[in-house]
Structure 1
Amino acid sequence: MKKYTTIISAQELYKNLDNPDFILIDCRFDLMQPAWGYENYLKEHIPTAVFADLDKDLSGPKTPHNGRHPLPLESQFIKNCSTWGIDDQKQLVVYDTVSGAFAARLWWLLRSYGHEAVAVLNGGFYAWKNAQYPLSQGEESHIPSFFSGHFSNRYMANTKEIESIIGNDSFVMIDARARERYEGKIEPIDPVAGHIPGAKNLFHQFNLTDDGYWKTTEELQKIYSPLVDDYPDDHLIVYCGSGVTSCFNLIGLAQLGIWNARLYLGSWSEWIQNPDHLT
């Protein structure tokens, strides 16, 4: 069976809709209306898809020192994966409304737990719906399975490391937020505006065409090459507001064969917790 590790089209997913080795996970979410995703999942979703909540399932307890979406507890995440029917042989397909930026967080988490067969639905739920493929309502469930993954921090950077590499030209940080937030002109979510010193900007939506589908590999190469050429994979660090939408840039890099770039998990919302940090 072909293994999908970055993105999958609605057409390819439809061909595998009855494939028992495929597990679908709906990650629709709205940062301003946290209940919105689940409410819409109940109204309509891709058949067999279970729901994963960004705040409850893909994030962990907050403290005064971490970001808005810290890591989920390992024991809880493993339990969730088992409940969702994930085992070592399953192909995972994750999706949200259009872009896949929230689903990308689960993509990154699963890779960090050693599960590589996970792909984001290209064009998201709307691509499926616009193709007039079947829809379901209400809750879905799977027979619980045994998920054997364990978290590895190989794809993650922490605040201490970010502090140590500021001014180090052998590393590059890429801020995935909109240009206006990066420049500090607006800040709709966090209490401080700006960006981490030395960081470059590549808004995560620039990975997509105007109609919400991934750009071609050639187009992505033109976008990323000026930022990442000549750097080792693990010297590329992405961040955003809270370690969610920047995972989308990791998928963009992966499509170019750059698999070991890392996520600054706490991102901007953790960086600004320390008043001594420059912005």
Structure 2
Amino acid sequence: MPSTLVTPEQLAAQLDSWVVIDCRFSLADTGYGRRVYAEGHIPGARYAHLDDDLSSPKSATTGRHPLPDLASFCAKLGAWGITPDTQVVVYDDSFGSMAVRLWWLLRGLGHTKVALLDGNFPKWTREKRPVDIAEPVVSPVVYPVPTNVDWGLDAAAVEAIRLSPAHKLIDARPDMRFTGELEKVDPVAGHIPGAVNWVYEENLDLDGTYLPAEELRENYTQLLAGVAPENVVHTCGSGVTACHNVLAMEIAGLAGSRLYPGSWSEWITDPARPVATGEA
């Protein structure tokens, strides 16, 4: 079953048997996703809101999108009709940069039957595939709360490895946010010292689909410079777009990299943590 990407053609053939989750969202307009979902979505798709469904409320010591409460998240999965054996497909309209959060959360539960729609909603509509405005009627099920969950590293673990030559810390944010030249989202500009910058859009082809696996592997092999994939930690602004790089490495056959879900917005809540600006 698909665990990284599915094409629109593959999804269209399985709409009656797979669960589809619409993850469209805008940081600048948190109501955007629900509005466009109501205007039209892939038939049968449920809607997942980044703040309400895929995160927990932020506090003074967390990033902007803290991890969801585990029991609440599993209850939400059940409400969407998802069991541990369900094939899930996620999508958005921003190159997968929001939907990958749900992909990563599910993978952290050990749920491997989850894939991103390659090209997302724009490719689906370009191919003139069906769109619906009706919310699906879902029969709730029980998603058991797993006992073994891997939802990444905390700030202390990142501090311990960030300067290690055996590890690589990769920041997925745009270059000007990484260098600190322009920061319109978080109150402090810059990056975690020791990090390198790999903007998530570098994973994409011109049509918004992921690059071929061979090309991704070549790019990441060069970036890692001998560091083992399992010693790679991904970061971004709040633990969302960095998941795009986690998925890219999985597609490339470089499995095992980890996420710092608190990311930059959590890191800067403690003034004792170091900050760097400029190029890596």
Partner-residue secondary structure (3-state), 2:89: strand
Which is worse superposed, 48-57 or 158-167? 158-167
Query: Equivalent residues in 2 for 1:1-279 (5 A)?
Result: 3-18=1-16, 20=17, 22-150=18-146, 152-279=148-275
Change (3 A) 1:198 1:73: same
The two structures, once aligned, show a CA RMSD in angstroms of 1.3
Cα deviation digits, residues 40-83 of structure 1 (max 9, x gap) = 00110000000000000000121110100001111110110000
Which is worse superposed, 77-86 or 143-152? 143-152
The percentage of counterpart residues that share the same residue type is: 39
Superposition deviation, residue 259 in structure 1:
2.4
The answer to whether the 8 A contact 2:213-2:253 is kept is: no
Unmatched segments (≥5 aa) in structure 1: none
TM-score normalised to structure 2 length: 0.95
Aligned-partner Cα distance in 1 for 2:160–2:137:
45
Aligned-partner Cα distance in 2 for 1:72–1:157:
15
Which is worse superposed, 209-218 or 195-204? 209-218
Superposition deviation, residue 139 in structure 1:
2.0
Unmatched segments (≥5 aa) in structure 2: 276-280
Aligned-partner Cα distance in 2 for 1:218–1:135:
33
Partner-residue secondary structure (3-state), 1:148: coil
Superposition deviation, residue 17 in structure 1:
1.7
Aligned-partner Cα distance in 2 for 1:101–1:140:
24
Partner-residue secondary structure (3-state), 1:109: helix
Superposition deviation, residue 229 in structure 1:
4.5
Partner-residue secondary structure (3-state), 1:156: coil
Aligned-partner Cα distance in 1 for 2:227–2:77:
34
Aligned-partner Cα distance in 1 for 2:10–2:131:
16
Cα deviation digits, residues 178-216 of structure 1 (max 9, x gap) = 111111111110001101001011000111112211111
The answer to whether the 8 A contact 1:115-1:149 is kept is: no
The answer to whether the 8 A contact 1:114-1:149 is kept is: no
TM-score normalised to structure 1 length: 0.95
Aligned-partner Cα distance in 1 for 2:218–2:84:
35
Q: Runs (4+) of structure 1 moved beyond 3 Å?
A: 151-155
Superposition deviation, residue 119 in structure 1:
0.2
Aligned-partner Cα distance in 2 for 1:188–1:196:
17
Aligned-partner Cα distance in 2 for 1:266–1:167:
18
Partner-residue secondary structure (3-state), 1:66: coil
The answer to whether the 8 A contact 1:50-1:141 is kept is: no
Superposition deviation, residue 246 in structure 1:
0.3
Partner-residue secondary structure (3-state), 2:156: helix
Q: How many residues align?
A: 275
